[in-house]
Structure 1
Amino acid sequence: MSKIKYYYDSETLSYRKVERKKRHVFFRFIGFLAASMLFGLLFFFIINQYVESPALVDAKAENEFMKLEVEKANEQINNLAQVIAEVEERDNTIYRIYFDAAPISDEQRMAGFGGVNRYKDLEGFNTSERVIQLKKDIDQLKKRVAIQSQSLDEIAELAKDKEKLLASIPAIQPVRNQDLTRMASGYGYRTDPFNKTRKFHYGMDFTAPRGTPVYATGDGVVTRADANSSGYGNHIRIDHGFGYISLYAHLNAKNPYNVRVGQKVKRGDIIGYVGSTGRSQAPHLHYEVSKDGERINPINFYYGNLSPEEFNELLKKSQQENISLD
């Protein structure tokens, strides 16, 4: 029951009952309701600004976790891409060349995906750009792996028919590093030791003491072991098949040969001994490789018994334009 209120009327000098009008009550109610709503909105704004809800906290934590996972995935993709790039390089520069297979171009390996937008379903989100790029990198990596897998399958098929080729290619140094005095001269233009003119040197000269063993650089058949070729002195020629022939010149005058014509030899067999016969300035081995009748640089074949460091050192020495020994 509401209390009855009175006010003092100075004109009548008496207390009079306060009469409440309905419209006053209505306006007071509306004012109270508006103030309550304003206070509620203000409270809600403050809460949202400075106090995070559990759902928002979880969402932020999940977003941070996803960012870290994406960064880890990108790092793993970059590492895998580097490994695949190394395999691709060996595939093009070693495997496919050895088996007379055409290298796979970078354009073919790295080609993108044309046609429809493969990533449309990933658009429209805050993280769309990062996720789409990650998906593209993964798809690119999968394609490169697929191409490389097909290439290795092809090489494996070629290898079944070319095991003999691998054994036959003249792929080792004919004089062991520990027996060398030095690598005197390489393939290319050099100064002739006799007439001092500049002429093309078609082999490599390995300086070593007389009697140092000379090794067959690949499997094959001895086709010559004589001194009947101008300038070479005592020399040996081995036919390796597949168009490859190796020549070993200026062999020792005494006991120059450890093989005979028609004999089959294996890579690493001792076939003769270093000397200085024929057109030679000092004891050394002059070594040549021919492919299909054309003399080529022997240094391209020393993958069988040299470490990368030894090969690089030999390459530097062979490129020096100095005086040859024959």
Structure 2
Amino acid sequence: MSQVKYYYDQDTLSYRKIEPTKGKKARNIVLFLLSSVLFAFLGLTLLLNTNLFRTPKELTQARELKNFELQYQLMNRKMNQMEKVLENIAERDNTLYRVYFEANPIPEEQRRAGFGGINRYKSLEGFDNSGMIINTSKRIDVLSKQLVVQSKSLDEIKLLAEDKEKLLLAIPAIQPVQNRDLKRMASGYGMRMHPILKYRKMHKGMDFTAPRGAAIYATGDGVIKRAVRSSTFGNLIIIDHGFGYETYYAHLSKYEVKKGQKVTRGDIIGYVGNTGLSAGPHLHYEVHKNGKAINPINFYHADLTPEEYEIMLGKSVIENISLD
């Protein structure tokens, strides 16, 4: 019931009832309606943000959403760890593995290159947690690309390692005649007087004097390229070691291999002789790299002590008469 208001009339000396005007009534009605709407809005907002009037399905969805948010947080922590591990692997790859195998390091911008072009995350926009979802998706994509780059790099390192192992086995690294069979190292690499032609000419290898029939060994892994009789070199064996290396074994009494046969370092391939233009039983030994004869003195690191190598090096530089 609305409250009735009165005022004192001095003319009649009595209280008279206050009658509201039509405008005031309208204003009161409008104020009442606006207040009702405001309170209804506030009440609805309050109800919508509490669990009092949520359906079981809505409550389940809310719990699932909280669970997904927690899973995303855990996933981002794991990605932080993965990024640190991948950084460590990439650093070792560039500063250790690729350096050892003489491969160029992979530039950082190539490892961390982004994804240009269209917005690949547009379908993830417009959700309550779009920012978190897009950021996590980007990190996963970048990590995936880095893993692909690193995987390809390790595949390359594996091939380089296999080639390095083959190279180490292929490079001539031992004397072709054992020390117990050697009488002396007759002549080294360089200009020498030829014993038969009687003029100075380039001696492209080293001469090892040894008894006729002493074993001659392959100085590195390879394939027999030639096993023939030559007017100059006599019985000659040429081994193709790959990687640009070849070795020549000349003046043999006989050879024990044939063209196309695979040999490994230390295999007996023939025997010391005196065939061709030769002044006595010996082995003439040459090392070629990319078709050019080089000094064999640099290729005995596998079976000579430093002292023995120094002795051989001193004898090899003496200009004497060669045996072929």
Q: Could you state the TM-score of these two structures normalised by the residue count of structure 2?
A: 0.51
Alpha-carbon deviations, 1:203-235, whole Å to 9, x = none?
0000000000000000000111110x3410001
Moved over 3 A (4+): 98-102, 155-161
Residue 243 (structure 2) aligns with: 242
How far 1:197 moved relative to its partner?
Answer: 1.5
Counterpart selection for 1:269 from 258, 267, 270: 267
CA distance in 1 between partners of 2:186 and 2:102 (Å): 32
CA distance in 1 between partners of 2:245 and 2:163 (Å): 17
Q: Which amino acid aligns with 1:218?
A: G
> Sequence identity of aligned pairs in percent?
67
Q: Which amino acid aligns with 2:195?
A: P
Residue 91 (structure 2) aligns with: none
Counterpart selection for 2:223 from 197, 212, 221: 221
Residue 207 (structure 2) aligns with: 205
Residue 165 (structure 1) aligns with: 167
How far 1:198 moved relative to its partner?
Answer: 1.4
Q: Which amino acid aligns with 1:277?
A: T
Residue 181 (structure 1) aligns with: 183
**1:88-107 equivalent positions in 2, closer than 5 A:** none
Query: Aligned Cα RMSD in Å?
Result: 2.4
How far 1:199 moved relative to its partner?
Answer: 1.2
Q: Where does the alignment leave 5 or more consecutive residues of structure 2 unmatched? A: 1-98, 105-156
How far 1:260 moved relative to its partner?
Answer: 1.3
Partner of 2:274, secondary structure, is coil
Partner of 2:234, secondary structure, is coil
CA distance in 1 between partners of 2:303 and 2:186 (Å): 19
How far 1:195 moved relative to its partner?
Answer: 3.1
CA distance in 2 between partners of 1:325 and 1:311 (Å): 21
Residue 312 (structure 2) aligns with: 314
Alpha-carbon deviations, 1:154-195, whole Å to 9, x = none?
x99954531000000011110011110100000001111123
Work out which of the two has the higher radius of gyration on C-alpha atoms and give 1 or 2: 2
Q: Which amino acid aligns with 2:243?
A: F
Residue 324 (structure 1) aligns with: 322
Partner of 2:298, secondary structure, is helix
Partner of 2:223, secondary structure, is strand
Q: Which amino acid aligns with 1:284?
A: H
**1:23-62 equivalent positions in 2, closer than 5 A:** none
Partner of 1:162, secondary structure, is helix
How far 1:101 moved relative to its partner?
Answer: 8.1
CA distance in 2 between partners of 1:281 and 1:205 (Å): 11
How far 1:99 moved relative to its partner?
Answer: 6.5
Q: Which amino acid aligns with 1:173?
A: Q
Closer/same/farther in 2, CA of residues 99 and 292 from structure 1, 3 Å limit: farther
Q: Could you state the TM-score of these two structures normalised by the residue count of structure 1?
A: 0.51
CA distance in 1 between partners of 2:103 and 2:245 (Å): 18
Residue 292 (structure 2) aligns with: 294
Counterpart selection for 1:278 from 267, 276, 279: 276
CA distance in 2 between partners of 1:283 and 1:269 (Å): 21
Q: Where does the alignment leave 5 or more consecutive residues of structure 1 unmatched? A: 1-95, 103-154
